[in-house]
Amino acid sequence: MTVAQLDYKQALGGGVPFLWLNPNHRRCPGAVAEARWTMADIEAAERRFQASGKLLGSLFSDTCLDGDVIESVLQAVDWPAGQVQDTASPPGHLWIKCDHQLPIAGSIKARGGLHEVIAFAEELVSTYGFEQSHRDFSHWSDSEIQSLFNEHTIVVASTGNLGLSVGLIAKALGFKAVVHMSVEAKSWKKEKLRGCRAIIVEHDGDYTEAVRIGREAAERDPKSYFVDDENSPRLFLGYAVAALRLQRQLARNKVRVDRQNPLFVYVPCGVGGAPGGICFGLHQVFGENVHVFFSEPTQSACMLLALSEGEAGPRAVYDIGLDNTTVADGLAVSRASAMVANIVKPLVSGIYTVSDEILLRNLYLLKHEYGFSVEPSAAAGLSGSDFLLNTDAGSRYLKENTRPGSLARSNHVVWTTGGMHLPRVEYEHYWSLGRAIDDNAI
Ligand SMILES: *Cc1c(COP(=O)(O)O)cnc(C)c1O
């Protein structure tokens, strides 16, 4: 990689794709134990999903994949062309965690959004004295509970996918829903929400601005509840449940994860909730044998900025001359969540940045090589193993953090995070751009 010699600040501020290794990774070995939450909190979220399975199955036609629980498949795939230099001795196995097919929301936001809305509904039902009903979801369609839900508004701000997840679930359960959409939100996402009678508030500003305005509006109305993507334990723990699911799917495929068999996971990052929850959950499950890398657009590298700076609150990417424009609308976030940055600081192995060109080419390759249709944000993970295996920073990471010889027995999970509902014409537009880039690269 040509930027190997560049100072990371130059690469970051210059918008050049590169792999940043987190200097605070494992600085405090007990980091997971000291975090605000424990495995018991993730398991409680998992029970909530299981309890709601039947209800969701009755509200949505596309739910059950893994029993009654919302889940996506883990698919074994071959290495994409060009990533592996020595094909005779490949660097372990590659997998794709297909959250681009996650039911209901069609993205990784399904777990977080569902968990938060259901947890709030439970709390409401119990606050209003429906004692037996708050854990027995079969009563939630009863008229008293429906009128309770109908009096309450769930408010969320989003670049698109979180709005889709929270809005669709809130409306299906019987709540009112208001979704504040930032400037990059795609119109098909707004239309889908309007179709189920959610109220859309469109903003000219970015995501951080939409969150601020949404939060203020919700505060003025005592019967509204704000899903705060910058600061939400319920979203975070919902996302973390994915770690338990991945653990089960790996075990089913007889994949071992230990010192001799390290696990590498690559997840796209926006404000940080989804990848942060997954990173936290995976460290609870696999400890130091899992290595989690986040991926951000070069112009929206807000988590990299937050983690590479000192203790003060996260700064906006505009402060270092980046403009937050990216084809990855789901990752177009200018300021990272302070809550998540604090949790993942000692846990995440590193963050790599990707240009629009890389994203579009990956989108094309995911279709060409594996038949998967994803949105641009969701294609960021595919470059993870490339950065790890084919850059100086990646080699340094492997040398310092893994046992000699263990790479051949390693497993790599690329998280594809959204795309199921992407309209065909939009997908084909991205695909043809990606193909042209791929043609030129050969
Ligand atoms: C939201 C989103 C992410 C990242 O999640 P954050 O919680 O914002 O970090 C990744 N991919 C897609 C498709 C998303 O919509």
Question: How much is the pLDDT for 83?
Answer: 86
Residue whose CA is at the smallest distance from ligand 1 atom 14: 330
Counting ligand 1 atoms within 8 A of each CB, the residue from 188, 266, 269 with the most, and so the one to mutate, is 269
199-224 burial: b if 16+ Cβ within 10 Å, else e:
ebeebeebbbbbbebbbebbeeeeeb
What is the residue with the minimal CA distance to atom 15 of ligand 1?
330
Q: Indicate whether residue 163 lines ligand 1 (CB < 6 A).
A: no
Which stretches of the chain score pLDDT less than 70? 1-6, 27-34, 62-68, 132-135, 442
Closest ligand 1 atom, CA of 273?
A: 7
Nearest CA to ligand 1 atom 11: 417
Q: Is the CB of 377 under 6 A from ligand 1?
A: yes
- Which residue in the block uniquely carries the two structure tokens 């060109």? 357
Measured CA to CA, the distance from residue 305 to residue 314 in angstroms comes to 7
Q: For a substitution probing ligand 1, which of 377, 382, 383 has the most ligand atoms within 8 Å of its CB?
A: 377
Amino acid at 302: C
Q: Please tell me if the CB atom of residue 271 comes closer than 6 angstroms to any atom of ligand 1.
A: yes
User: Which numbered atom of ligand 1 lies nearest the CA of 229?
Assistant: 7
Q: Is the CB of 107 under 6 A from ligand 1?
A: yes
Q: How far is the CA of 383 from the centre of ligand 1 (A)?
A: 16
d(CA 154, CA 175): 7
Q: What is the pLDDT of residue 122?
A: 93
If one residue of 96, 107, 109, 192 were mutated to test the ligand 1 pocket, choosing by the most ligand atoms within 8 A of its CB, it would be: 109
Residue 40 CB partners (closer than 8 Å, separation 6+): none
Runs of H (alpha helix) within 220-272: 233-252
Q: Which of 411, 339, 380, 358 is nearest to 99 (CA)?
A: 380
Please give the single-letter amino acid code of residue 371.
Answer: G
- How far does residue 324's CA lie from ligand 1's centre (Å)? 15
**Which residue's CA is minimally distant from atom 13 of ligand 1?**
418
Report the alpha-carbon distance of residue 277 to residue 274 in Å, rounded.
Answer: 5
CA distance 310 to 313: 8
